[in-house]
Amino acid sequence: MSPQASPVYFWEAEVEIETNDLAFSPQTASEGRGALAKQIFTADWLHDGVIWFSPAKRLGGWLKAQMPLARSTYANQMAAVKVFPADGEDEYVPIAGVGDLVGGKTPLPKTSQLPEGLPIPFWTYINVPQEKGTGTRVAPTFWYELHKPVKHRVRVMSFARGISPEIVKEALSKLGRATGIGDKHSVGKGRFKLLKFEAKQEKLSL
């Protein structure tokens, strides 16, 4: 007896959003010990003076984090929702130059070393949980801001039967104004507005 064909619900959508305040956190490492220790800054998102960004990776992570908050039953279905680069685009795309970054004015310690071209970052101290629940420790956090509108294009594909295009469109439209993508999104950076959501839906039998 041949297996029974079962319906598979599939849709895909061309999506475009616009951000106005993306944040970028540099990586830091200590070199040496004691008073002679240096703090070395690097930026894996910066190459030859150009800022590179992955809209598909960032928006895919955003959807996986935000959709279950709208309805807990979406959590198990999000594995069937994928975000890919827009047709004709690579995963990482150039979005600005290093000269577009805005930094802070509070000087870093004299032992700090920044990559050439990067300004002083914004920085402050935050409480960081220690391992094994032994309380918190105070640590610095660093970031830059991009105060210019940037449009990002992606392609969303879904086989999740309980998640319709309308549900994802509403989440992007409403939640994107409150919770952003990129670094420092937990403090409101990278919020976006939905510019385009064009979906086509099919019912396949496999």
- The whole-number pLDDT of residue 1 equals 47
Site of tokens 């999740």: 160
Task: Write down the domain spans for the chain.
Answer: 7-201
Whether the predicted pLDDT of 2 surpasses 70: no
Q: Kindly state the average pLDDT of the residues 33-55.
A: 90
In angstroms, the CA 184 to CA 25 distance is 8
Average pLDDT, the chain: 90
164-193 tens-digit pLDDT: 999 999 999 999 999 999 999 988 999 999
Strand bridging mode 136-146 / 122-129: antiparallel
In angstroms, the CA 32 to CA 34 distance is 7
110-146 tens-digit pLDDT: 889 999 889 999 999 887 787 776 778 788 899 999 9
- 88 versus 51: the higher-pLDDT residue is 51
Q: Provide the Cα torsion 83, 187, 51, 198; round to 10°.
A: 30
What kind and span of H or E run contains 61? Answer: helix 55-70
Strand bridging mode 101-102 / 50-53: unpaired
